[in-house]
Amino acid sequence: MVEWYSWRGQVLDIDLTSEKITKIPSDKYFPKFLGGRGLEGKVIWDDVPEGTGALDPENRIIFAPSTLTGTSSPLNGRWNIGALSPQHPKEYPTSSGIGGHWGAELKFAGYDGVVVHGRASQHSYILIRDESVEIRSASHLWGMDSMEAQKRIAEDIAKEGPVPDTSEKPQAGRYAAINIRTVIIGRAGENRSRVACVLHDTGDAAGQGGFGGVMGSKNLKAIAVRGTSPVKIADPQRMVEVSFKIRKMIRSKAVPVIPPYGGPGGLYGGNPAILTGYVKRTDACFGCQVACRGYFDVPGASPGQAQCVQLQMYNNWEGVGPVAPPHPDFADRVQDETTWYGVRLADLLTINSYELTGILSWLWAGYKEGIFNEENTGIPIQDMGSKEFADKLFGMIANREGEFGDLLAEGLHRAAKKLKEKFGNRVWELYEERYVAHGMRQHWFYIGNAKGPGDPTGYPNPIGQLMWAMGTRDPYSNCSFTREPFGVEEVSELIYGTKEAANPFTYDGKAQAAAIAHTRGAMNDSLGFCDWFYPILTIEPLFAEEEEGEEQVGRKLGDLTVEAQMFSAATGIEKTIDELMEDTSRIMNMERAVQVRMGRRREDDTFNEYYFNNPDRRGNPIDRVAWEKVKDEYYEQMGWDPKTGIPTRERLEQLDMKDVADALGV
């Protein structure tokens, strides 16, 4: 029998149609596909039949803790949810990162992932308590909001006491309601909205992808989990040493990056003074020392934690982040009780906040141009920003009320496509101005378009552009580090091996940089390292002084190998960072192979037409010739055929994926 360290040794496969529950040995997936995103791609390739639609019972939704989730590795509470995406215009598979405690709890229950397929004959939820796995009726939970239903599940379980077959264990008493961790959907998910998120606890969410709609299509309200066994570590002493080293580096980075409640997950933009007054504490993913979110308790709304886009959504929907200019009509808005009301309502109904920023911006633009009004939409657009407006619009989307509610529940891409038949092509143009690619709203506009924020540099980010075009969703949570080397050749050389990538105004060196950044981001998603802080490119001198015995001035280069050191200590499998990057390349090629099988080719790797015909912030549209050239270079970097964008046999065989090459016929 294999002794597993860091992994737990089994993956749950749950068929809701037949109610068959299977525990699959993890060596089918690991260590070859690492964890997290790696599990998702492999399951979809192996088990989702060709021709399956995202909302069909045969689609698999994979809840995938990362390799290091549930260990004491710093900032490793992150995990992923993946499936064929109903939000994507071509339903390509995508993956959405999520934090909180559910991923770690699943590892404590003894599993490296949960794969759900089929469709339950009645509204159901899954309850996992260590070895015990049950499919239960959710008839009493259906229709409840995400908070109320989580509370009800915990209360029901608390009444039952310890699970029978573990009552002999001393830890059985730990099944207290407060320790149950749940992923759940509200009304939007139940009604199979393509833009429904999956929520966990009071505000962690897998936002992009429409995975709440996938759960709804399976009649699955929630998965609640409690685990009481430890994740074993291969070399605890070494892990403590590596953890201590990383924690010091993270601490030195966190000082300038995370002001109180105002870092990556805090209160950005606008005027946060009012909401800041309602912050009760900070909140964190499992095992994170940074705790980048605020936990708010605002009168008149349910308390909870929120971060970043979520917290911006009902304040500054024109864009997101510190450089996002609010629409002039809303320039005076502050983050206040009404902002919070909108944030919480979206979470209660489980509507993706990213998508709402796009819908709000698009509706207002159409209203200002005289295309939309209350009479022809059923939406009191003139009241945008009020509590009443949030109740009306978010309720319409979650419940698919009226023509607009039903269409917007399909996501703005599909809604605008349909509505242009009735309102003219301008509604499509307004959509394209706001959505760069893949039918999904973005965090930053890497293209630097005027209808939303550019990269925080204020300019296009060519590395982010390539990642956008080649992926299946906004790559922001995989590439927040890509701007750090801009303007600093030393840092660019450290991570990309080229100084050219330090210049954000050309495509020189960007294909090489994007291939590395893309792979590195997927590695974070597979091993579980939080993108806010990994890779550790630079550190501040805070602790460097004491280490080196001399005064440091300014930033110094970080350590790009700590992820490999941690992986080796935790799993007992000695790997260099280059070997882990090669393993991640296998994951990316598997994801690409699934998309190729679904018809994806080079011509799909691009942006909406709008961006080739309209100026970016620097006054130029994207240069088609230069863009196609840098794409050639990217494919070469990845080992994909530049003519088609399909992985080559040579590269697939290097990655021990001959079976995939055979199946693709390359």
User: Binding residues for ligand SF4, per CB under 6 A?
Assistant: 75, 77-78, 99, 265, 284-285, 288, 290-292, 530, 532
Strand partners, 61: 116
Q: Which is nearer to ligand SF4, 233 or 290 (CB)?
A: 290
Minimum Å distance from CB 445 to ligand SF4? 22
Q: Which is nearer to ligand SF4, 75 or 83 (CB)?
A: 75
Residue 203 exposure: Cα atoms within 13 Å on the Cβ side: 26
Query: What residue type is 406 in one-letter code?
Result: D
Q: Which is nearer to ligand SF4, 99 or 342 (CB)?
A: 99
Minimum Å distance from CB 461 to ligand SF4? 21
Q: Is the dihedral of CA 76, 78, 82, 85 positive or negative?
A: negative
Q: Which is nearer to ligand SF4, 127 or 285 (CB)?
A: 285
Instruction: For residue 236, give the DSSP letter.
Output: H
Minimum Å distance from CB 63 to ligand SF4? 17
Q: Which is nearer to ligand SF4, 68 or 598 (CB)?
A: 68
**Share of the chain residues as helix, strand and coil, in percent rounded to the nearest 5:** 45, 15, 45
By the 10 Å C-beta count (0-12 exposed, 13-18 middle, 19+ buried), 383 is classed as middle
Minimum Å distance from CB 290 to ligand SF4? 4
Nearest to 377 by CA among 387, 385, 366, 368: 366
Whole-angstrom Cα distance, residue 459 to residue 616?
A: 9
How far is C-alpha 666 from the geometric centre of its chain's CA atoms?
31
Residue pair 428/297 in contact (Cβ under 8 Å)? The answer is no
Residue pair 527/67 in contact (Cβ under 8 Å)? The answer is yes
Minimum Å distance from CB 6 to ligand SF4? 17
Measure the N-to-C terminal CA separation of the chain; round to a whole number of Å.
Answer: 37
Whole-angstrom Cα distance, residue 639 to residue 277?
A: 52
Minimum Å distance from CB 637 to ligand SF4? 28
Residue 20 backbone dihedrals phi, psi, to 5 degrees: -85, 130
Locate 536 and state its tokens.
């550790």
Q: Which is nearer to ligand SF4, 288 or 437 (CB)?
A: 288
Tell whether omega for the bond before 535 is within 30 degrees of 0, i.e. cis: yes
Instruction: For residue 421, give the DSSP letter.
Output: H
Q: Which is nearer to ligand SF4, 308 or 396 (CB)?
A: 308
Residue 652, helix vs strand vs coil? helix
Nearest to 305 by CA among 327, 269, 270, 280: 280
Q: Which is nearer to ligand SF4, 253 or 651 (CB)?
A: 253
Nearest to 69 by CA among 30, 42, 43, 41: 30
Query: What residue type is 426 in one-letter code?
Result: R
Instruction: For residue 121, give the DSSP letter.
Output: S
Q: Which is nearer to ligand SF4, 285 or 511 (CB)?
A: 285
Whole-angstrom Cα distance, residue 191 to residue 195?
A: 11
Helix axes 510-527, 462-470, angle to 10 degrees: 60
Minimum Å distance from CB 145 to ligand SF4? 24
Residue 11, helix vs strand vs coil? strand
Minimum Å distance from CB 528 to ligand SF4? 9
Q: Which is nearer to ligand SF4, 154 or 284 (CB)?
A: 284
Q: Which is nearer to ligand SF4, 282 or 648 (CB)?
A: 282
**Residues 6+ away with beta carbon under 8 Å from 49:** 58
Minimum Å distance from CB 353 to ligand SF4? 15
Q: Which is nearer to ligand SF4, 99 or 411 (CB)?
A: 99
Whole-angstrom Cα distance, residue 326 to residue 258?
A: 23
Question: What are the CA-CA distances from residue 220 to residues 23, 126, 346 (Å)?
Answer: 19, 8, 19
Residue 46 backbone dihedrals phi, psi, to 5 degrees: -75, -40
Whole-angstrom Cα distance, residue 80 to residue 509?
A: 30
Minimum Å distance from CB 75 to ligand SF4? 4
Q: Which is nearer to ligand SF4, 96 or 512 (CB)?
A: 96
